[in-house]
Structure 1
Amino acid sequence: MKRLFWLISLNVVYSTAELAIGLFTGRVGLVSDAFHLTFGCSLLTFSLFAMAASREKPDRFYTYGYKRLEVLSAFTNALFLLFMSFSIAVEALHAFIQDESEHKHYLIVSAVTNLAVNLIGVWFFRNYARINLVYRKVEDMNYHSVCLHVLADSIRSAGLILASWLLSLGVQNAEVLCMGLVSATVFMLIMPLFKASGGILLQMAPPSISNSALSKCWRQITAREEVSEISQARFWEVIPGHVVGSLTIRVKDGMNEHSVLQFVHSLYHDLGIQDLTVQTDES
């Protein structure tokens, strides 16, 4: 958390300085980039808030606790980066339509400085600098989103620097090529996180448990002589690594439902489902 706090502070100082210089010199590009950084800082601040709030214990209003805030934070970061990827693609299209000789070279100084700031952030969270990361804890997902955030910003700045250098060499459509490449890279970089965090928020079936394993449990339960029917079987992740589920079992009249419940809980617990709610009805 301390490293994230210092990264946010560094970005706030830099974006404030860039905004002041942009307003003083009348450079619209600097002002626009400063607002982009400010919005990014607000998302990183939300990540920091989620990390702090997730430590609160469950209460009567939030019985599962506040850890899912970190999933929401990761999803928000991913959504912002997808939007950034789209905006860069639009920027590349605009550069293709417009005369590239109007490229504003004063933005390169800003891009170099921004790259240096973001590389510090990448170094802070280098352990999470992977595309497909296994989330053993909910904190892993949030830190991964922070790392991808600063990494995507670094790639964007590097793309601007490369485009400017190629333009100075006289390469045609250099900005279109570089910005298009940056857009595609950021999109591919962030999609796994977007799918993982979105899947948890939409209560998808847990990817850590295969459908064949769940079907096998279903067959084993229905094979018992006490059970006549299973229905409304639902399984999802509250946070990464915490799988919950619920199902309804219809037990035949006169049969011992206690032994059935014990068998069902044991079966699904072995699959990694920590919390299971089973409702029994008599047929």
Structure 2
Amino acid sequence: MYPESIDAFSAAPRTPTSRLIRLYLKTILSNPESRKIFYFLMLNLSYMLVQMLYGVWTNSLGLISDAIHMAFDCMAIGVGLFASVMATWEPNESFTYGYGRIETLSGFANGIFLILISIFIVFEAIQRLLEPPEMNTSQLLLDHSHSHSSPASHSVSHSEPHSHSHSSEAHTHSHTPQPKDGHDHTHGHSSATNGHNMRGVFLHVMADTLGSVGVIISTLLIQFYGWTGFDPIASLFIAILIAASVFPLVVDTGKVLALDVADRDLVIQQALAELSSIEGVASYDFPRFWPKDATSLIGSIHIHLVPTTYTRIDRVVERVDALLREKIPGLQELTIQVEGKQAFSASS
């Protein structure tokens, strides 16, 4: 009934939830891209809390509204952070190619969201040009000066996600199982991060920074010249600039999600044309190639051996695999299937 020793009162082991949090934190901080997003999120959250508390203390509706706006920004950055962590999950039976494309989906969603915001700003700006409202420029300038001083805005302004690529340490492996029922398969796998997610987060924070800068400039012009039309004109310029910056991201991510390889079709066709030069290969069919993420491709192909060939099937498969990987940039996962009884007889 009673414990036999003091060991019974020892602390309970660490809960699975705490271990999971520690694991995710380790994953986030070990990856340069997710670490940068995590720092953006922490800076934004800290500034949002300070702004909200100061706004409640001073009863400033402008500061409270901007803090709520920053909360939505934190949600967008948090989605990007979750996507960067989810992309590191291992493949399983349900997602055999892993979760790497979730970063592409996150970038696409951020891009569509920013384009919709740009369209809304354009319509609102046109309405304000036709019916100029009264504006309190002193309060507006004060609120947006505080907003533009957000540390995350300054941090992101010094990052260059377009000119730097961060990737995890790549690993590759291949295996060639024994042929069975006239079929032979070879697979190669490689892991790498893509920059779509980081581009989406960067553009989202950049849009906020541009909005604050535009409001400050237009407010100063209104104070100097007294014409409120500067505000919608600045909004139009910012909306067009945001849309122009985001459109390439939406196109790039859309192509990946739609499995479009049109930009690499010529290279793929040239590589396939060289398969006939491999000893033992009579023909091929069902070539399939599709993008895994921004930089890598997945492929599969069926090859037919020459009926009289004495070349070992594994040698033929290795040569086909090496040629396609050499000629097609970014080909990281490949399945090669050999058809026919001749292939089975030659390998046995």
Regarding TM over 0.5, the answer is yes
Note if 1:241 corresponds to 2:275: no
* TM-score normalized with structure 1 length: 0.80
Q: Corresponding residue for 2:155?
A: 121
| Cα pair 1:206 1:236 within 8 Å, conserved | no
- Which of 192, 207, 214 is matched with 1:152 structurally? 207
* Whole-angstrom distance in 1 between the partners of 2:86 and 2:277: 45
One-letter identity of the residue aligned with 1:121:
S
* Whole-angstrom distance in 2 between the partners of 1:40 and 1:224: 55
Aligned pairs (5 A) from 1:36-185: 36-102=69-135, 106-117=139-150, 118-123=152-157, 126-128=159-161, 130=162, 137-138=192-193, 140-168=195-223, 169-171=225-227, 173-185=229-241
* Whole-angstrom distance in 2 between the partners of 1:70 and 1:229: 37
* Whole-angstrom distance in 2 between the partners of 1:257 and 1:96: 76
Gaps of 5+ in 2: 1-33, 168-191, 342-348
Secondary structure of 1:280 counterpart? strand
Encode CA deviations 1:164-190: one digit per residue, 9 max, x unaligned. Answer: 122222346212221111011111111
Gaps of 5+ in 1: none
| Cα pair 1:19 1:30 within 8 Å, conserved | no
Q: Corresponding residue for 2:333?
A: 275
Encode CA deviations 1:25-45: one digit per residue, 9 max, x unaligned. Answer: 695x76665444322211101
Q: State the identity %.
A: 24
Larger radius of gyration: 2
One-letter identity of the residue aligned with 1:167:
I
Distance of aligned partners of 1:260 and 1:54 in 2 relative to their CA distance in 1, 3 Å threshold:
same
One-letter identity of the residue aligned with 1:261:
V
Distance of aligned partners of 1:7 and 1:227 in 2 relative to their CA distance in 1, 3 Å threshold:
closer
Aligned pairs (5 A) from 1:24-35: 27=61, 33-35=66-68
The number of equivalent residue pairs is 277
Distance of aligned partners of 1:201 and 1:265 in 2 relative to their CA distance in 1, 3 Å threshold:
same
Note if 1:202 corresponds to 2:235: no
Distance of aligned partners of 1:141 and 1:133 in 2 relative to their CA distance in 1, 3 Å threshold:
farther
Give the RMSD, CA atoms, in angstroms. 3.4
* Whole-angstrom distance in 2 between the partners of 1:229 and 1:139: 35
* Whole-angstrom distance in 1 between the partners of 2:245 and 2:40: 21
Distance of aligned partners of 1:32 and 1:145 in 2 relative to their CA distance in 1, 3 Å threshold:
same
Q: Corresponding residue for 1:213?
A: 267
| Cα pair 1:77 1:145 within 8 Å, conserved | yes
Q: C-alpha displacement at 1:14, in angstroms?
A: 4.3
> Relative contact order (alpha carbons < 8 A, sep ≥ 6): 1 or 2 greater?
2
| Cα pair 2:194 2:295 within 8 Å, conserved | no
One-letter identity of the residue aligned with 2:42:
S
Secondary structure of 1:239 counterpart? coil
Query: Which structure has more helix as a fraction of its residues?
Result: 1
| Cα pair 2:145 2:212 within 8 Å, conserved | yes
Encode CA deviations 1:31-88: one digit per residue, 9 max, x unaligned. Answer: 6654443222111011222233333333344333333332222222222222222222
Distance of aligned partners of 1:39 and 1:172 in 2 relative to their CA distance in 1, 3 Å threshold:
closer
